[in-house]
Amino acid sequence: MQLDLTDDQALFRDTSAAFIEAELPVAETRKLHESPAGYDRDWLRRSAELGWFAMLVPEADGGGSVSGRPLIDATIVAELVGRHVQPGPFIPMNVVAAAIAAAGSAAIAAVTRPPPSIAPRHSACPGPSPRKSLATSSEMPTDSIR
């Protein structure tokens, strides 16, 4: 599908493509496909700093998209991730972030909000809202989830 990109979206696409080519070229991704984790956590953190995992989260909750059309912006990144065979949980992280932003509770936020040092405004860790944040802990008390 051919998208008519705005100037901001074209810049976002070009910046994201340059990031992928510089930070994790195809030769390096092949190595990751054979590793037990399947992706590089540091690369994942750096891609989160570009806002790749908070595009479907409202700006009021720490997310946001380049154009105000989050599905188009996510499609831009998804196409690049696929073209460059980038490993990692791009789709699951976006889906979970959007779901928690839409329906998260204070109990979830209390155990999932990451430290500010790893949660830049546009990252995989949406928040500051006390009821909305992306799950980053496996020790979530299930008895307090609504």
- Domain extent listing, the chain: 7-144
Euclidean distance between CA atoms 137 and 4, whole angstroms: 39
For residue 132 the two structure tokens come to: 């909305």
Task: Name the least confident of 18-22, 28-32, 94-98.
Answer: 28-32
Residue 144: both structure tokens together: 């307090």
Note the residue count of the chain: 146
Rounded distance, CA 94 to CA 134, Å?
9
So what's the pLDDT on residue 63?
Answer: 85
pLDDT of residue 96: 87
CATH architecture of 7-144: Orthogonal Bundle (1.10)
Model's pTM, two decimal places? Answer: 0.69
21-58 pLDDT, tens per residue?
998 888 888 888 788 888 888 888 888 888 899 899 88
CB atoms under 10 Å from CB of 42, counted, come to 10
**C-alpha angle 42/54/121, rounded to 5°?**
80
58: burial class by Cβ within 10 Å (0-12, 13-18, 19+)? middle
